[in-house]
Amino acid sequence: MGQGDVHRYLGHRLRVAGRKEPIFTPDAVDLVYKYSEEVSRWINNLCDIARVIEYSRRQKEIEGEGMYQSIQTERGHGP
């Protein structure tokens, strides 16, 4: 799965869930691509963790910095 595929995959998953507008910025998706090793299960896990963390912060959109912090948390390096 290439970088463009990850962008399309996340867009598709959000549409299936009923979301019309994007929730992840392009920077955030690029980080998902970089750290997921293109494994769909890891893509889903990283995005789920980011959604929970950013929702608790009352963020409506997940930007690169928030995604990076979520990735660090998932790897045991975060708060």
Domain count, the chain: 1
pLDDT tens digits for range 36-79: 888 889 999 999 989 898 888 888 899 999 999 888 888 877 55
> According to the model, what pLDDT value does residue 34 have?
93
- List CB contacts of 7: < 8 A, sequence separation 6 or more: 26, 29, 33
Q: What is the CATH classification number for the domain harbouring 21?
A: 1.10.8.60
Whether 79 is covered by a domain: the verdict is no
Q: What is the pTM of this model?
A: 0.85
Whether 35 is covered by a domain: the verdict is yes
Residue 40 lies in domain: 3-74
pLDDT tens digits for range 4-36: 899 999 999 999 999 988 899 999 999 999 998
Per the CB < 8 A criterion, the answer to whether 62 and 51 are in contact is yes
Report residue 6 CA to chain centroid gap.
10
Report residue 73 CA to chain centroid gap.
13
> According to the model, what pLDDT value does residue 78 have?
58
